[in-house]
A and B are shown apart, each in its own frame.
Chain A
């Protein structure tokens, strides 16, 4: 059974690897978006799904990565790939600065602090015009081909999924879950919760940082409103909850299913697609608070590490 599971995973990965050679650019573009959402939802899962600290400003790390890459490409002449990878340095650096004090806040206070961070970053980016282009943003050369971005974004998605799997199958992961379950008890049992939360937060910032860099290159243009939208954080949260928070495949399922659903609904119901999407989310939260995978795990006694 275990071998069958891994075989299926390898088959899907092989299929995804050769897919760009056989499908239209529309499908490749759509796949890039799904990969991006997988990376974002899974990153949010690393801090909020595992430790229970709900981050309402995770798009700040995505935006930080996007601006890092855009500035390095446009002003320093870097190649887009290493410029994007630098997001894995700048975003965790920001996470460290904000996480060190804010992760001591409990419950809604942390969520509000994160929301504030996003707004502050957006204002700063708009203010420092010489450096960031202000409200006009930064334009980058249009990309010649989609395949490199497809593999790069796919790599980020795969990377964060593997990291989550590794964490969930380790005692580090159990300790993060113990924080979610009862932080005070975890502390009293000798677990340094402040340090572990910070580690999880840094990891959860690194991947959106890289994804933001690839997004900037792929979009050819970034500006404050489009790079730090609150809606992006909400979407990654919904995708994670829909698939199953605190799991490995939950955010993958959530991001994939909801992206496809949105694409189908958007094309057919232009004016009410957001309302339909919202109704679906309400239904899921009411009927399946543990998400798709949570329900499957309970019903079929599946391990938590999937």
Chain B
């Protein structure tokens, strides 16, 4: 296997007596789309938080392009090339759609403006560029958050439930945008509850249950894995 872009080794995160992520190891090769699934409360978002520095892992190692990123602050992780969206939308409501993108980049202003407009066009929000983000619909805010993470030009994009609340028309455009990212060589790691979306997009899927990785493999393998069936539907 080629050098992984992201490597987690025995990562553990506890909240008091609750083990949110338990000795989780996984490896992502560059330029692919990976899925992360699991029942509610299985530790998917916590794992994303550990990778991006929003939560400090207690044990284990997290490496990005071979470099340890444990203990880095979130902005340092982002500057190294890991961008993310959130399960619950976290846009800047009192900034316009355009400003939401301009604020996160260090490109010279003209270049940033051009790139921001291109990204807004990509997510079909170009006509709403001067609208305050707080006035956009839920689905539009989701798309704006997606465009914002692309604005920092990350090599690894973590998407936490990108399809939730997005209507079918916009969803198809979003999925196409994700595939385009892969074509550009980006690595994408997606948490998603919509099984059709995750099975269609992902080249490999990891499954968490009670913080533990219980399976990994191709989508068709995961769909028939007994441990996964048990985690989702019980015995």
Contacts and interface: CB of A to CB of B under 8 A. Distances in A.
Contacts of B226: none
A184 B73 contact: no
Interface in B66-101: 73-75, 78-79, 83-84, 86, 90-95, 99
Interface size bracket, A side: 20 to 34
B17 to A, nearest CB: 25
B181 to A, nearest CB: 17
B20 interface: no
Main secondary structure of the interface of B (DSSP, over half): loop
21 contacts: A171-B102, A171-B103, A171-B109, A174-B102, A177-B92, A177-B94, A177-B103, A178-B103, A181-B94, A182-B90, A185-B91, A186-B92, A187-B74, A188-B52, A188-B84, A188-B86, A189-B148, A190-B152, A191-B104, A194-B73, A304-B94
Contacts of A246: 94
Contacts of A181: 91-95
Given A174-B103, A186-B103, 6 more contacts: A181-B94, A182-B92, A184-B90, A188-B84, A189-B78, A191-B104
Nearest to A181: B92
**Chain A CB within 10 Å — which of B73, B86, B104 has the most?**
B104
B174 to A, nearest CB: 19
Interface of B: 52, 54, 73-75, 78-79, 83-84, 86, 90-95, 99, 102-104, 106, 109, 148-149, 152
Interface in A229-270: 246
A188 B74 contact: yes
A176 B54 CA distance: 20
Given A171-B102, A171-B103, A178-B103, A188 B95 contact: no
Nearest to B103: A174
A190 B91 contact: no
A26 B95 CA distance: 43
B94 A189 contact: no
Contacts of A175: 103
A136 interface: no
A189 B93 contact: no
A230 B52 CA distance: 41
Nearest to A290: B94
Contacts of A118: none
Contacts of B52: 188
A185 B92 contact: yes
Contacts of B73: 187, 192, 194
A34 B84 CA distance: 47
Contacts of B148: 189
A169 to B, nearest CB: 11
A193 interface: yes
A88 to B, nearest CB: 28
B95 A178 contact: yes
B103 A182 contact: no
A178 B152 contact: no
B71 to A, nearest CB: 15
B231 to A, nearest CB: 29
| Most chain B CB atoms below 10 A, which of A181, A186, A190, A194 | A190
B155 to A, nearest CB: 13
A190 B104 contact: yes
Nearest to A187: B74
Contacts of B75: 187-193
Interface in A173-222: 174-175, 177-178, 180-182, 184-194
A187 B54 CA distance: 9
Contacts of A180: 94
Nearest to B92: A181
Nearest to A172: B103
